[in-house]
């Protein structure tokens, strides 16, 4: 439970983290959209916007440290503020993956794709859903909602494996496809890592609410 004296500050902190997460979702969407549509201008916008994410991280970090220093929160309030510092690191790392996807989009925008891009946009949409689910669980400090990310993580891993197998088959059939297929494999890897980070967020929600740590990635692997 949030201490009444801290509630306005913690509500504001949650809102700022949610805002950063929503901006991140847009970054992922636009990076993959730029890749699919071969839109170098949109890809460059994603790259430029990474500075906004970095500034959001710094602002939230400053706010969190201010709460720790001036308000000296206890128990679950302390876990919430401390975990917020970890959450923004994961969000920033996810943004780095989106930026890297945008860089691949620029590298490939003049090329004819070796295959239609179907599963990569599916992975991007799933990544956005995972981030949204984890952030909603964070806002409500809802353990059951956090646990719902497990089937999404399983689906993400399956899609990543499918992308890997398909692109590998192209490379084996025609070595000329290797440079582009390798670049697309990197994109799939970035999206899979975003999913892992989103699962980390859900783990942090459980820690805030319960004070114990659960490895949701391990639980997902055991169910695959």
Q: What is the CATH number of the domain that holds 157?
A: 1.20.58.220
Query: Is residue 48 in a domain?
Result: yes
Q: Tell me what pLDDT residue 92 has.
A: 97
Residue 4 has pLDDT above 60, yes or no: no
Q: Do residues 125 and 58 make contact, with C-beta atoms less than 8 angstroms apart?
A: no
Residue 29, C-beta contacts closer than 8 angstroms, at least 6 positions apart: 124, 128
Q: Tell me what pLDDT residue 53 has.
A: 97
Q: Tell me what pLDDT residue 212 has.
A: 82
What are the structure tokens assigned to 128, written together? 């956005």
Question: pLDDT by residue (tens digit) across 77-126?
Answer: 999 999 999 999 999 999 999 999 999 999 999 999 999 999 999 999 99
Domain of 213 in residue numbering reads as: 7-223
Q: Tell me what pLDDT residue 109 has.
A: 97
Query: Is residue 133 in a domain?
Result: yes
What are the structure tokens assigned to 149, written together? 């990310």
Q: Tell me what pLDDT residue 147 has.
A: 94
The structure's pTM equals: 0.93
Compute the mean pLDDT over every residue in the chain, rounded to the nearest whole number.
93
Q: Do residues 188 and 126 make contact, with C-beta atoms less than 8 angstroms apart?
A: no
What are the structure tokens assigned to 195, written together? 């999913």
- Looking at the chain, the whole-number percentage of residues with pLDDT higher than 70 is 97
Q: Tell me what pLDDT residue 1 has.
A: 40
Question: pLDDT by residue (tens digit) across 135-160?
Answer: 999 999 999 999 999 999 999 999 99
Number of structural domains in the chain: 1
Query: Is residue 187 in a domain?
Result: yes
Residue 12 has pLDDT above 70, yes or no: yes
Q: Tell me what pLDDT residue 2 has.
A: 42
Residue 206, C-beta contacts closer than 8 angstroms, at least 6 positions apart: 143, 146, 147, 212, 213, 214, 216
- Looking at the chain, the whole-number percentage of residues with pLDDT higher than 90 is 85
Question: pLDDT by residue (tens digit) across 165-193?
Answer: 999 999 999 999 999 999 999 999 999 99
Query: Is residue 2 in a domain?
Result: no
Query: Is residue 141 in a domain?
Result: yes
Helix (H), strand (E), coil (C) string for 78-99 = HHHHHHHHHHHHHHHHHHHHHH
Q: Tell me what pLDDT residue 215 has.
A: 82
How far is it, in rounded angstroms, from Cα 192 to Cα 190?
Answer: 5
Quickly state the pLDDT bin for 3 (edges 50, 70, 90).
very low
């Amino acid at each position: 439970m949030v201490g009444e004296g801290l509630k306005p500050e913690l509500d504001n902190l949650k809102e700022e983290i949610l805002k950063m997460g929503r901006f991140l979702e847009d970054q992922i969407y636009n990076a993959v959209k730029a890749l699919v549509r071969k839109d170098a201008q949109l890809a460059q916008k994603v790259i430029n916007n990474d500075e906004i994410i970095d500034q959001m991280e710094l602002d939230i970090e400053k706010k969190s440290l201010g709460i720790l220093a001036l308000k000296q929160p206890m128990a679950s309030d302390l876990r919430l503020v401390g975990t917020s510092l970890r959450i923004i690191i994961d969000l920033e790392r996810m943004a780095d993956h989106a930026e890297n996807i945008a860089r691949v989009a620029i590298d490939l925008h003049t090329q004819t794709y070796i295959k239609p891009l179907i599963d990569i946009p599916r992975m991007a949409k799933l990544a956005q859903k995972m981030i949204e689910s984890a952030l909603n669980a964070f806002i409500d400090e809802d353990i059951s909602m956090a646990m719902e990310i497990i089937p999404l993580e399983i689906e993400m891993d399956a899609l990543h494996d499918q992308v890997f197998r398909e692109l590998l088959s192209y490379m084996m059939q025609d070595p000329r496809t290797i440079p582009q297929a390798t670049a697309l494999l990197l994109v799939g890897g970035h999206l899979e890592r975003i999913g892992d980070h989103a699962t980390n967020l859900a783990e942090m929600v459980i820690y805030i609410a319960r004070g114990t740590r659960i490895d949701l990635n391990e639980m997902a692997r055991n169910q695959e």
